[in-house]
Amino acid sequence: MAATSSRGISSCGWAGPRATVPVPELRRRIEYRLTILQDEGSLAPGDNARRARFLYTVVSGLSIAQALPAETPRVRTEIEVLRTAAEYVLNERPP
C-alpha cells in the first residue's frame, strides 16, 4: 500500500480514498498520460487537453451516478462506459 503525503495524494501519484485533488490537477494528470501515449505512438496526434476534458467528464459522471440510488449493481455498466470512452480516445483519428 502506498504512503499518503500530507496533501492527501499517495506516493504513487493517485489520490487516496479521502484525498481531495483539485479538478484542474486531475485533468492535468490525464492530459500528461495522454501525452505520454502520444509520444510513444500509441495515440494519434491531437488535442490532449480536449481529450482529457472528455475523459474527466465521463469519470465525473460515473462518480455522480454512484451517489444515486440504483436497483441493480452498476459495476458492469461503469466498466463498459470507461472502456467505450478509452476506445474512443485511443482510436480517434485526426480529420
pLDDT in tens, 16-69: 555 677 888 899 999 999 999 999 999 999 999 999 999 999 999 999 998 888
pLDDT of residue 22: 82
pLDDT(5) > 50? no
Q: Retrieve residue 16's grid coordinates.
A: 487516496
Q: Retrieve residue 76's grid coordinates.
A: 458492469
Name residue 10's beta-bridge partners. Answer: 4
Q: Retrieve residue 56's grid coordinates.
A: 474527466
Tell me the pTM.
Answer: 0.72
